[in-house]
Amino acid sequence: MTHDPHDFNNLSTPVKTHIETASGELVAVQGEGSIVFSKKLKLENCLYVPALSSKLLSISQVTKELNCVVLMFPTFCLLQDILTKEIIGRGTERGGFYYVDKVAHKGHVMLAHGTVTRQLWSWHRRLRHSSFGYLKILCPSLFTSNTEPIKCETCIQAKNHRVTFPPNNNKVNSAFLLIHYDVWGPAPNSHNNQFQYLLLFVDDFSHMTWVYFLKHKYEVLDKFYAFYQMIHTQFGKKIQVLRSNNGGEFVNKSMQELFRENDLIHQTSCPNTPDLSFEQVTLSDP
C-alpha cells in the first residue's frame, strides 16, 4: 500500500474500497495497480491509500507473488528467491520496524519514510486526533516556521452535534394564517409560588411574538384560548393553522376539542427535528 500515486505503473478501480488500520480507523482506497520497485521486485494488486503516512509491504503478499522467503535478522531483513536463492530485496531495522532499503525508480525514491507532514498526520491519528498545539509540544522536531495547521475533516465533523437542517423559505402571505407556539421551562431558579414556564406564540408572517407566563403547564389551554380570542377581537383575524411539537400540553383531548370547535388545523413536528426556530426570529414586544 502506498500514498503516492506516482509509484504505480497503472491505476484502476479497486475491488476493496476501505482498509482498517491498526488503530481501528477505516480509510478509503482510491485505486489499485502494479508497482515496479526494481527489475527483480514487482508487485501486483497494490493499493493506493492517500491517508497513509508510510508505504507498507505485506510479507504474505510478497512471498506469494514473488515466490520468495523473508529472512529476518536483528538489524536487517532479506528477500530471497526460493528457486535461485538470489537476494531480490533488503531491509533495515529501525525502532522495531523493518524498512525496505530505498530503491530509485522513475527518478524518485520508493518505500521512503514519508514527508514530515505525513509523519505529523500519523501522530495526529495515533494520539486520537490531538490538537495542533498539543502535537507541537509533543513533537517539536516535526514543526518549522512554515508548518501549516492540520485541517482534519474527521475532527471538524466530530465537533458537529448533528447534521444542519436546510433553510426553509416557505412563508405564508398573510398575518395569523400560521402560528408557531411552544413552552419553555421550567426555569432553573424558580420556586413553586413563582412563574416557571413561558408560553410563546410566533406569527409566521410577521415574526411578531407574544409571551405568556405560566406557573403550571396545564394553564396552556386557558392561555391559548385567551390568545385566540384576542387575535379575533383586536385584529379581526382568525388563526387557521397552529404548529407545535408533540408535547402533552399540546396533544391532549381538551386541546383537540378546542381545535375542532374552532376549525383549527394543528400541525406537529416530526421526531428529531427542531420544534420552533425562535433563535432565528427577532423577538418584539406585543
Over the chain (286 residues), what is each successive 10-residue block's mean pLDDT?
A: 84 86 83 81 85 83 87 86 83 81 44 57 80 83 74 77 68 88 82 80 92 91 93 92 88 90 89 53 38
Residue 96 lies in a domain: yes
pLDDT confidence of residue 201: 94
Residue 285 lies in a domain: no
- What's the rounded Cα separation, in Å, for the pair 86 and 78? 10
Same domain, 185 and 274: yes
**Helix or strand or coil: residue 114?**
coil
Residue 103 lies in a domain: yes
pLDDT confidence of residue 168: 67
Residue 55 lies in a domain: yes
Residue 71 lies in a domain: yes
Same domain, 20 and 101: yes
- What's the rounded Cα separation, in Å, for the pair 93 and 99? 6
The length of the chain, given as a count of residues: 286
Same domain, 11 and 110: yes
Residue 241 lies in a domain: yes
- What's the rounded Cα separation, in Å, for the pair 100 and 66? 15
Same domain, 15 and 107: yes
HSE-up (13 A, CA, CB side) for residue 38 = 15
Same domain, 186 and 273: yes
pLDDT confidence of residue 281: 39
Same domain, 109 and 182: no
pLDDT confidence of residue 55: 82
- What's the rounded Cα separation, in Å, for the pair 180 and 275? 9
Domain boundary among 79, 114, 149: 114
**DSSP label of 280:** G
Domain boundary among 78, 96, 114: 114
pLDDT confidence of residue 118: 64
pLDDT confidence of residue 265: 93
Mutual orientation of helices 253-261 and 220-235 as an angle, nearest 10°? 20
pLDDT confidence of residue 277: 44
pLDDT confidence of residue 111: 43
Owning domain of residue 242: 178-280
CATH for 193: 3.30.420.10
Structurally, how many domains does the chain consist of? 2
- What's the rounded Cα separation, in Å, for the pair 143 and 120? 9
pLDDT confidence of residue 45: 84
Cα-Cα end-to-end distance for the chain: 67
Residue 24 lies in a domain: yes
Residue 68 lies in a domain: yes
pLDDT confidence of residue 103: 46
Domain boundary among 94, 114, 134: 114
